C-alpha cells in the first residue's frame, strides 16, 4: 500500500555508508529528507548526491537531516561516494542506506513495476519532526531533482506549520503569504500586525510573519 501525505513515515533499521542506524533515532527532533536512487554509479544520481552535499549547510540551517537510499551494498556505496567526491568536488556528508533486501524500498513504495521491477524509482520524502510525511515527489530517471525547489518547499512547510498561512504560487522565503480562510477579518490585526491586503474576500495577503 502506498504512503500518502499525513501518514506516519515507517521506521526501519538499516546498514548505511556511516554504519547501522535506526531511522527515527537518526532524525531525532529534526525534519528529514529521504531520497532514493535506482542504483549506485548512476550518472544523474551522482550529480544529485553531490548537490545535496554542497547544500548541507542550507539543510542544517533548517534543522533538516538528509539521508539517501540505494538497493546496493554499503561497500558499493563507499566506492560510489569516492567517485561523487571526485567528480562533484564535494565531500558526501550524509548517510547512504544500503537496502539490498529492499525492505525500506517496499515500505516506502519506492519500486514501481512499470519503471523497473527490481530497483527504486527516484522518490523524495519530506518528514516532519512528528514523523508524518509532508511531501512526496517522484521523478523520472531522465530528470535530475531540483534541490533548491526542495529547500523552498521545506521553507513553506516550516512556515505554514507555525502560522495560519499558506504560500502562493512561486512563493519564496520573504514573499507575501496567504492568510488562512479560517481566520476572520476582525482577527487579522492581532494575528498579523504587519497589515494585510484583501484582493478578494477569500484571497488576503500579508507579509511573511516570521520575517
Digit-coded pLDDT (tens) for 135-164: 999 998 889 999 999 999 999 999 999 999
CB 133 within 8 A of CB 10: no
- Residues 6 or more apart whose Cβ sits within 8 Å of residue 58: 151
* Residue located via cell numbers 527532533: 29
CB 133 within 8 A of CB 3: yes
Is residue 125's pLDDT more than 70? yes
- Give the residue range(s) of CATH 3.40.30.10 domains in the chain: 13-145
What is the pLDDT of the chain when averaged over all its residues? 93
Residue 160, judged by CB atoms within 10 A of its CB (0-12, 13-18, 19+), counts as: middle
- Give the residue range(s) of CATH 3.30.1020.10 domains in the chain: 163-206
Q: Rg for the chain (alpha carbons), in Å?
A: 19
What is the predicted pLDDT for the residue at 111?
72
> Would you identify the CATH topology of the domain 13-145?
Glutaredoxin (3.40.30)
CATH number of 163-206: 3.30.1020.10
Is residue 118's pLDDT more than 70? no
Query: Which of the four pLDDT bands, split at 50, 70 and 90, describes residue 120?
Result: low
Catalytic residue among 33, 45, 81, 90: 45
Residue 103, SS3 per DSSP: helix
pTM: 0.92
Is 45 labeled as catalytic in the residue annotation? yes
Query: Which of the four pLDDT bands, split at 50, 70 and 90, describes residue 116?
Result: low
Element (H, E) at 112: none
Amino acid at each position: 500500500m502506498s504512503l500518502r501525505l499525513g501518514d506516519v513515515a515507517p521506521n526501519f533499521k538499516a546498514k548505511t555508508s556511516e554504519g547501522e542506524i535506526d531511522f527515527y533515532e537518526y532524525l531525532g527532533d529534526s525534519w528529514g529528507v529521504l531520497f532514493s536512487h535506482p542504483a549506485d554509479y548512476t550518472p544523474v544520481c551522482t550529480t544529485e548526491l553531490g548537490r545535496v552535499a554542497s547544500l548541507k549547510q542550507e539543510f542544517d540551517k533548517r534543522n533538516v537531516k538528509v539521508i539517501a537510499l540505494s538497493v546496493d551494498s554499503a561497500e558499493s556505496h563507499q566506492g560510489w561516494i569516492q567517485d561523487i567526491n571526485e567528480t562533484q568536488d564535494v565531500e558526501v556528508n550524509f548517510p547512504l542506506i544500503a537496502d539490498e533486501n529492499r525492505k525500506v524500498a517496499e515500505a516506502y513504495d519506492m519500486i514501481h513495476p512499470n519503471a523497473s521491477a527490481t530497483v527504486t524509482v527516484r522518490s523524495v520524502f519530506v518528514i516532519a519532526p512528528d514523523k508524518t510525511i509532508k511531501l512526496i515527489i517522484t521523478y523520472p530517471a531522465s530528470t535530475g531533482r531540483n534541490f533548491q525547489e526542495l529547500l523552498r518547499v521545506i521553507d513553506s512547510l516550516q512556515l505554514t506549520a507555525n502560522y495560519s498561512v499558506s504560500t502562493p504560487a512561486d512563493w519564496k522565503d520573504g514573499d507575501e503569504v496567504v492568510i488562512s480562510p479560517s481566520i476572520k477579518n476582525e482577527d487579522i490585526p492581532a494575528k498579523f500586525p504587519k497589515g494585510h491586503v484583501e484582493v478578494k474576500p477569500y484571497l488576503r495577503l500579508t507579509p511573511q510573519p516570521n520575517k
